[in-house]
Amino acid sequence: MTFTELIQNAALLRAINERGYSTPTPIQMSAIPLILKGGDVVAQAQTGSGKTAAFCLPLLQQWAVERAITPRRVRTLVLVPTRELAAQVGDVMRNLAHHLPKPIKLSVAYGGISINPQMLQLRGGADMVIATPGRLLDLIRQHAVTISHVKTLVFDEADRLFESGFADEIRQILSLVPAQRQTLLFSATFPDQVLELTENGLRNPVRVDVADSATHKPDIHQRAIGVDMQRRTELLIHLIRQHRWNRVLVFTSSRYASELVAMKLRKAHIFAEPFHGELGQGKRTQVLSDFKTNRIQVIVATDLASRGIDIPNLPVVINYDPPRSSDDYTHRIGRTGRAGNAGVAINFVCASNDAHFKFIEQSQQIRLEREHLSGFEPVLTDVSVLPEEKGPGGIKSHRPNKKDRLRMLTLAPAKNRSS
């Protein structure tokens, strides 16, 4: 199948060609005809599968047909969980609409920056709004925008919308949009809240599922390297230098860890920057821009960056700390192996997080062999068999401290805890 079989608008086909889209991806082949029919669609697709274009293209074709007969008011609303994803979807929409005879007025709104420029942008109305839920409601309260004429409502990264705590905001938004509308829901995973939204917020949706297609799975080589916790940064530096990676995305569990690891990398003369939710929007935008243009080599991020960040030709993702959940693991490693490119996802597995990583493996239905690299072989391989605590004359470094004991109690099998 070709794009000419899916899209009839010549201006959109020109933009598709300029962006280098050769053939439609599975999600595009399945979703575009259904969206153009006007019905509700629920689509499950992994990151990097082309789902943004899968809804942008048909929405733009619909707008190009209807623009001449409708006044300028918000007819399409796209809800996204993060600022970065809002900007990314906005960029895709603008690029695809570039050659349309009539310019589309597109507004992208998110928090973390002043609301005033966004209010000014909405003066005179808008055709499409791409927004995070909280900022959208702020704009509605300020009477800067109304969504009472929305014809198509899109939930992009629906699972992350709920994980980010937007459940109340989504309920408010659903109460403000027309009941008679087209609703499109795109998600990589389907937790209970997304299933509830699908059942209660959509009308007889058609389900599209390409996430589990073995033929179209991203080409990501997953590895698990055993290492002692205190030597992870050394191993990270070693791998970056050994493989001469020009772009590396490293995931940590906290803001503090992202800043600490980035600082240690800079001390080793590796250009690195932290990336987390407490950074200002200007700084976050600058870090991503520098990363994409190779002015920095490593981004050390929290899970903020695991979704909605499109980094072309990213060769490797490293889980310095394991993710909290299997879903987060999916989205983290999904930053590599995109658009048909191969990628590598490396997990640092320590004695203290081995049990948690096994849970993730079980949820992902994978089992990764633990590699031990020469010079970085872990001394402690099983937290449940820590050396017994010695008396005053024992070796201090071998004695578990209070945090170690709590971790042992958390990770030890139930039968050991009860004995």
Give the start-to-end residue ranges of the domains of the chain: 3-214, 218-381
Q: Is the pLDDT of residue 213 over 60?
A: no
Mean of pLDDT values over 211-226: 74
Residue showing tokens 């000014």: 120
From the candidate CATH numbers 2.40.240.20, 3.40.50.12780, 3.30.160.60, 3.40.50.300, the one assigned to the domain spanning 218-381: 3.40.50.300
Closest by Cα among 350, 351, 333 to 342:
333
Query: Is the Cα torsion angle 56, 57, 62, 64 positive or negative in sign?
Result: positive
Domains 3-214 and 218-381 share a fold: yes
At the second CATH level, the architecture of 3-214 is 3-Layer(aba) Sandwich (3.40)
Q: How far is CA 97 from CA 62, 104, 378, in A?
A: 12, 7, 53
Q: What is the pLDDT of residue 273?
A: 95
* pTM of model > 0.75: no
Beta strand pairing status for 298-301 and 316-319? unpaired
Q: What is the average per-residue pLDDT within 181-190?
A: 91
How much is the mean pLDDT over the chain?
Answer: 86
Q: Output DSSP code: residue 79.
A: E
- Give residue 419's pLDDT: 39
In angstroms, the CA 107 to CA 419 distance is 61
- The answer to whether the beta carbons of residues 300 and 162 sit under 8 Å apart is no
DSSP designation for 320: S
Q: Report the alpha-carbon distance of residue 350 to residue 34 in Å, rounded.
A: 46
Question: Token match 């789902």: residue?
Answer: 51
Q: Name every residue whose Cβ is closer than 8 Å to that of residue 210 and which is 6 or more positions away in sequence.
A: 26, 27, 30, 43, 44, 45, 49, 216
